[in-house]
């Protein structure tokens, strides 16, 4: 086998040597015979690279733990707050639409519940309903079931509640209630959340 030294351009004819075996040129340059080379033992660079990769993996695992313990609960809380805000906004609209005609006609209008089934959390179309149409309540896709409950004489003194039912968090159905007091004023929304 002939090998040319890259340093001094001397041509060497070598016989009886194995590929990958080192030899020294007359100029002092150490070369390795071409061919299969043995894998080098891990040196300091490989050890450092291994430590860096190990630390990176540990950091990713810790980051996943932080996401699972800190970030996820915050996202879930923000989601349930957003769902609650949706219900409260619709309840105020609905109860306002119930109170205004009562002031003119003296009649309380009951309506619902619509949709017939409590939505499972994903928005569903709000169905057409004659009583809700009288109240001009057509919210579009909803995550809650809405109902107007009139307890007592609809032509006189009655207890009137607007109710929203939905799956806010955890198992079970959460319920928000907005009452209209005897003066036609809206009271604060009350939540009952058996799911947590």
Query: Phi and psi at residue 126, in whole multiples of 5°?
Result: -80, 120
CA neighbours within 13 Å on the CB side: how many for 121? 10
Q: 52-111: per-residue pLDDT in tens?
A: 677 767 666 666 555 555 555 555 555 556 677 888 888 889 988 888 887 788 888 899
Q: Give pLDDT, residue 137.
A: 93
Which pLDDT band, with edges at 50, 70 and 90, does 45 fall under? low
Q: Give pLDDT, residue 82.
A: 61
Give me the residue spans of the domains in the chain. 75-192
Contact assessment for residue 118 and residue 86, using Cβ atoms and an 8 Å cutoff? no
3-state percent helix, strand, coil for the chain, nearest multiple of 5:
35, 25, 40
Looking at residues 164-188, what average pLDDT do you find?
78
Can you give the pTM of this predicted structure? 0.57
Q: Give pLDDT, residue 17.
A: 81
pLDDT surpasses 70 at 155: yes
Contact assessment for residue 177 and residue 125, using Cβ atoms and an 8 Å cutoff? no
Q: Give pLDDT, residue 135.
A: 92
Q: Give pLDDT, residue 170.
A: 63
Token pair, residue 80, equals 């349930």
Contact assessment for residue 148 and residue 110, using Cβ atoms and an 8 Å cutoff? yes
Please tell me the distance from the alpha carbon of residue 134 to that of residue 35, in angstroms, as a whole number: 90
Distance of CA 79 to the CA centre of its chain: 8
> Burial, 131: exposed, middle or buried (Cβ in 10 Å; 0-12, 13-18, 19+)?
middle
Q: 104-125: per-residue pLDDT in tens?
A: 888 888 998 999 999 887 899 9
- The H-or-E segment that residue 57 falls in is helix 44-66
pLDDT surpasses 50 at 196: no
pLDDT surpasses 90 at 146: yes
Please tell me the distance from the alpha carbon of residue 142 to that of residue 180, in angstroms, as a whole number: 23
């Amino acid at each position: 086998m002939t090998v040319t030294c890259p340093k001094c351009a001397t041509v060497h004819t070598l016989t009886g040597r194995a590929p990958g075996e080192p030899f020294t040129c007359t100029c002092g340059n150490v070369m390795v015979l071409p061919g299969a080379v043995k894998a080098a033992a891990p040196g300091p660079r490989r050890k450092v690279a291994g430590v860096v990769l190990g630390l990176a993996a540990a950091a990713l695992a810790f980051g996943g733990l932080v996401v699972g313990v800190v970030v996820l609960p915050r996202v879930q809380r923000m989601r349930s707050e957003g769902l609650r805000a949706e219900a409260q906004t619709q309840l105020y609209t609905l109860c306002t639409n119930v109170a205004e005609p009562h002031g003119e006609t003296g009649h309380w209008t009951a309506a619902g519940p619509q949709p017939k089934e409590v939505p499972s959390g994903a928005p569903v179309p709000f169905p057409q309903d004659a009583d809700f149409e009288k109240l001009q309540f057509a919210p579009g896709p909803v995550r809650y079931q809405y109902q107007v409950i009139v307890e007592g004489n609809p032509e006189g003194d009655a207890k009137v509640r607007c109710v929203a039912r939905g799956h806010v968090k955890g198992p079970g159905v959460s319920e928000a209630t907005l009452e209209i007091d005897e003066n036609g004023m809206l009271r604060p929304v009350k939540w009952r959340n058996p799911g947590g």
